[in-house]
Structure 1
Amino acid sequence: MTAPDGQSELEHQFAQWRHYVQRRPELRRSDAEELEDHLRDSVDELIAVGLRADEAFLVAVKRMGGLDDLSREFAREHSERLWKQLVLTGETDSPVADTRPRRDLLAIVICAAGAAASVKAPALFGMNIHEDAAFYGPNVGLFALPWLAAFLAWRRQARPVLIAVLAALFGLGAVAANVYPLAEDSQSVVLTSIHLPIALWFVVGLAYVADDLRSARRRMDFIRFTGEWFIYLSLIGSGGGGLIAFIFGTFKAIGIVPEEFITQWVLPCGGVAAVVVAGWLVEAKQSVIENIAPVLARLFTPLFTVMMLAFLVTLGWTSVGIDVEREALILFDLLLAVVLGLLLYSISARDPLAPSGLFDKLQLALVLSALAIDVLVLLAITGRITEYGTTPNKAAALGENVILLANLAWSAWLVAGFVRRTTPFTALERWQTGYLPVYAAWAWIVALVFPPLFSHL
């Protein structure tokens, strides 16, 4: 029989193993529960024949036949433990492991080529990417994101009903982008160009969680995926910029200026293909890069906290009101979105069983600062609307700040409760993942409802 301390340590090891397994995109919740039952039975059998609890756990993990690869990765992430000697042995090759990457590569080549063809298809009807901004701006998300969603749905083996829902939502996006008669200088063109890709990104998220639609864990996985996708896309963009510079310089040296080729083919086709390829890279290299976004979040959280506190102190000292023109509204909304991202990615990498510490208090200061700035921006927007009337930009900013206010206010309450050790950490995680549909709904409202509501202004 296991001693109380030994039992506590054993449960902690089970919790670590469970947390790791539940992050695997190929495993559903029911699969993880079945594997845990099997692991517990094996541990009980080994304890019954005389092994200590920690020894039984290590041996049982080693015996997880079909999960050898998973166990190896778990051991690498917890290399300070003894299991490195017990698990990092044996053959790693298998027919399934060899076949899956090749099938994924073929699928992503097809999807990337489809995205490139999509962005060039309007040219067949006389559209020009430089002259028809009113068309290309609202449609930008429709060139690449359906192909990324198709790859993820294929990889998750999504059910036909869900595939039909995905197709319908992208069709709705095409209607929102093209049904309204918007002029190039219309505010609604800008709003749709910003909000429709956000709405469609949540459709990509639906494809990502196709294997377990109701799981909060899978929604948090999508948040991780989003951060790593953005990082990879930025890296691809940096490399692509260097490639374009070489293309331009080398051809110019022989008397050929490839400006039209670059602007009409390389940039649009490469841009939409990169969106798809970045998603594939996150999927293919998840075990290698899944901690980049959380590391950046921990690095920038104190910096943003200091910056925002300094802003609030300066604002109070000078008594200068906040400018609520369009550029300022976009800047403040981006700032609040960055704060939310720092919070999300810190949550995504945190051990839910660890007690609160100094970093959690720093996060509380960050959220409270963002909450104060959001309130000040909302007061400035409502004052300007009361005085001069509303516009599509101001209405969209008002709604977004109200949505962020609700999220930040409850997040501050939950983080404060966690710091005081009266609220479990999982409550904060569930709140953030459960709030995602609110952002998606607002993005769809701005793209679909605002243009006719404001007479296509």
Structure 2
Amino acid sequence: MGGGTMTVARNNDLEAQIAEWRAYMHRRRELHRTDAEELEDHLRSRITELTEAGLRADEAFLIAVKRMGSLDELSREFAREHSERLWKQLVLPGEPDAPTAARSRRELPVMVLCAAVAALAIKVPSWFGFDMSDDDGGFYARNLSLFALPALAAYFVWQRRVGPRVIGVLALPFILGAVIANAYPLADDSQSMALTAIHLPLALWLVVGVAYVGGDWRSDRRRMDFIRFTGEWLIYFSLLGMGGGVLTAFTVGTFNAIGLDAEGFVQSWLLPCGAMAAVIVSAWLVEAKQSVIENMAPVLTRVFTPLFAATLLAFLVAIAWTTNGVDVERDALILFDLLLVVVLGLLLYAISARDLTARPGLFDRLQLALVVSALIIDGIVLLAITGRITEWGFTPNKTAALGENVILLTNLAWSAWLFLGFVRGRMPFARLEHWQTRYMIVYAVWAWTVVLAFPPVFDFA
């Protein structure tokens, strides 16, 4: 009886290990489900051979996985052997089953409808006298995120089939953002207006994240999926933006060749409507073609991580060599905050694309150097901001910069500690992933705090 119970327990443990291996393999979008099943059959046959030779099930699993090679190696080998199929995946629809095919056919018109709504939404204010070319009151700067992001959230609501309760939760922040952006008396040249224009899109993007995960915001895995989506969306949006720039140049040039001035149409319709529609189209492309393109972001991460690490280290050496302080004027604050955000983005996307079971390597040490360098720079900037506030008092910009740098400092400090523990073999990598996904709520709370509380606290200055 006891031996049978132990055997069942070992089998359950083995199935749990295989399930974890399978879950990660399914994240490797280069592999079709049939390919993944074939690899799993191969893994199981090797485990059977090893257990029949006298090894325990857990030992057999580890040896079988090691002999098969890492999933990254399997993916690369698969890409080499099936390059034609991967290319067709990128430009042609695949061969899904009937329900999936029917749903895919419905997604295109829904995406087009949402893109059209976003494109037309930015023209609606002009019907009420808000001219985009003469935006003295900063109306478009305050409301820019309210033209496209509600349509993007609606697209994900339809795609994820979320219930009325989640829809109500999603609608409230958009309504609140619209009221605050337009009810507060924000002058065009005020710091509060600039902060609202910067932080409201971030706050609403995280609301879109709730729609993306289908309301399942408590799941670390789904939040990491949204982080991964954000990186891929930025790549697609940038590519569409570059393509749109080429289209704009050709449009103006060809019409000028026949004596017609197209610049008015480009400025009033093509650029604003195209930019809003591109927000939706980029999301649709990520969802439709992520089986191939999602590898672009990890590649870019591996390229730019060592470059940014070298740049930050050089900056720290320059500070030590010249003993110059950090300029904390507005433009410099924005530059440093953007730099820290880029570093955090590189860290987040590297985490989202990493095999959690792989051992630490050189790239992990480079990331640790990047995070530690950013942490030191953040500390230097914080000291400079604190000094200026002590001397000149609080302003909306300096207070926002202080809060944001404290938030980033906290994230980077704990990330560095977790990374160090992982590199030294004392902590699992999954703890770093859980920390980053759960810290997203801090960004959301801070963004809404700046949007809602800062203007009245600082008398809308």
Q: How many Å separate the matches in 1 of 2:27 and 2:306?
A: 30
Does the 8 Å CA contact 1:23/1:221 hold for their aligned counterparts? Answer: no
**Corresponding residue to 2:241 among 237, 240, 243:** 237
In the other structure, the counterpart of 1:77 is 75
Supply the RMSD in Å over aligned alpha carbons. 3.3
CA distance in 2, matches of 1:315, 1:149: 44
The structure-2 alpha-carbon separation of the partners of 1:452 and 1:104, relative to structure 1 and needing over 3 Å to count, comes to same
Aligned to 1:266: 270
Query: AA paired with 1:238?
Result: M
1:126 paired to 2:129: yes
Counterpart of 1:104, as a letter, is E
Distance across 2 between alignment mates of 1:23 and 1:173: 37
- The question of 1:146 aligning with 2:144 is answered no
Which residue identity lines up with residue 299 of structure 1 in the other structure? V
Alignment of 1:43-192 (within 5 A): 77=75, 79=77, 92-132=95-135, 134-192=138-196
How far residue 11 of structure 1 moved from its aligned partner, in angstroms, is 7.1
Q: Which residue matches 2:32?
A: none
The match for 1:19 is 24
Report the secondary structure of 2:134's partner residue: coil
Change (3 A) 1:369 1:160: same
Counterpart for residue 203 of structure 2: 199
Aligned-partner residue type, residue 357 of structure 1 = G
Residue 441 (str. 1) matches residue 445 (str. 2) = yes
Secondary structure of the residue that 2:187 maps to in structure 1? coil
* Aligned mates of 1:246, 1:51 — CA distance in 2: 69
Deviations 1:53-107 (A, max 9, x none): 9xxx9xxxxxxxxxxxxxxx999837559x99xxx9xx94532232122111011
Specify whether residues 197 and 93 from structure 1 end up closer, same or farther in structure 2 by C-alpha distance, changes over 3 A only. Answer: closer
Q: How does 1:355-366 map to 2 (within 5 A)?
A: 355-366=359-370
SS of the aligned residue for 1:130 comes to helix
Distance apart, 1:295 and its partner CA? 1.2
CA contact (8 A) 1:115 1:269 kept: yes
For the 8 Å contact 1:205–1:222, the answer to whether it is kept is yes
For the 8 Å contact 1:23–1:218, the answer to whether it is kept is no
Secondary structure, counterpart of 1:285 in structure 2: helix
1:167–1:211 distance in 2 versus 1, CA, 3 Å? closer
Q: Using the alignment, how far apart are the partners of 1:311 and 1:78 within structure 2?
A: 36
Letter of the structure 1 residue corresponding to residue 356 of structure 2: P
Residue number among 409, 417, 435 corresponding to 1:431 in the alignment: 435
Deviations along 1:359-385, one digit per CA (max 9) or x if unpaired, are: 111111111100000000000001001
For structure 2, the residue ranges without an aligned partner over 5 or more in a row are 30-36, 62-70, 87-93
Superposed CA deviations along residues 278-318 of structure 1, whole A, max 9, x for unmatched, are 01110111111112111111111111111101100110111
Instruction: Report whether the alignment pairs 1:307 with 2:311.
Output: yes
Tell me the distance in 1 between the aligned counterparts of 2:276 and 2:117: 9
Structure 1 unmatched ranges of 5 or more: 25-35, 58-72
* Shift in Å, 1:390: 1.5
Q: Which residue of 2 aligns with 1:401?
A: 405
User: Does the 8 A contact of 2:28 with 2:75 survive in 1?
Assistant: no
1:417-454 residue CA offsets vs partner (Å, 9 max, x unmatched): 00111111000000000000111111111111111111
> Aligned residue for 1:61?
none
Distance 1:301 1:115, change over 3 A: same
Aligned-partner Cα distance in 1 for 2:22–2:225: 17
**In the alignment, is the contact (CA less than 8 A) between 2:166 and 2:215 conserved in 1?**
no
How far apart in 2 are the matches of 1:99 and 1:416? 48
* Counterpart AA for 2:127: L
Identity among equivalent positions (%) equals 59
Q: Residues 380 and 104 (structure 1 numbering): CA distance in 2 closer, same or farther, change over 3 Å?
A: same
* Alignment pair present for 1:390 and 2:394: yes
Number of aligned residues: 416
- Judge conservation of contact 1:20–1:74 (CA < 8 Å) in 2: no
Q: Which residue of the partner structure matches residue 66 of structure 2?
A: none
Paired with 2:220 and 2:358, the residues of 1 have a C-alpha distance of 20
1:252 aligns with 2:256: yes
The one-letter amino acid paired with 2:75 is E
Question: Aligned partners of 1:126 and 1:373: how far apart in 2?
Answer: 46
Partner of 1:27: none
| Distance in 2 of aligned mates of 1:161 and 1:93 | 31
CA distance in 1, matches of 2:212, 2:28: 13
Tell me how far 1:9 sits from its aligned partner. 9.5
Question: Which region of structure 1 is more displaced relative to structure 2, 204-213 or 113-122?
Answer: 204-213
Counterpart CA distance in 2 for 1:431 and 1:168 is: 28
2:337–2:405 contact (8 Å) kept in structure 1 = yes
> 1:131, CA displacement in angstroms?
1.4
Going from structure 1 to structure 2, the CA distance change for 1:295 and 1:23 (only over 3 Å counts) comes to closer
Give per-residue Cα distances to partners, 1:187-217, cap 9 Å, x unaligned.
1111111100000000010101116332101
Match of 2:222 in 1: 218
Deviation sequence 1:140-178 (CA, Å, 0-9, x none) = 000001101110111111111011111111101101211
**Alpha-carbon distance in 1 for matches of 2:140, 2:443:** 23
Q: Which whole-Å CA distance do the structure 1 matches of 2:175 and 2:365 have between them?
A: 45
Aligned pair in 2 of structure 1 residues 78, 239: CA closer, same or farther (>3 Å)?
closer
Is the partner of 1:153 in helix, strand or coil? helix
Equivalent residue, structure 1, for 2:327: 323
- State yes or no: 1:352 paired with 2:356: yes
Q: Deviations over 1:207-241 (max 9, x none)?
A: 01116332101101100100010000000000000
Counterpart secondary structure, 1:323: coil
AA at the equivalent of 1:166: L
Tell me, yes or no, if the aligned pair for 1:157 and 1:211 is still in contact at 8 Å.
no
Query: CA 1:156–1:22 in 2, change beyond 3 Å: closer, same or farther?
Result: farther
Separation in structure 2 between the aligned mates of residue 117 and residue 18 of structure 1, nearest angstrom = 41
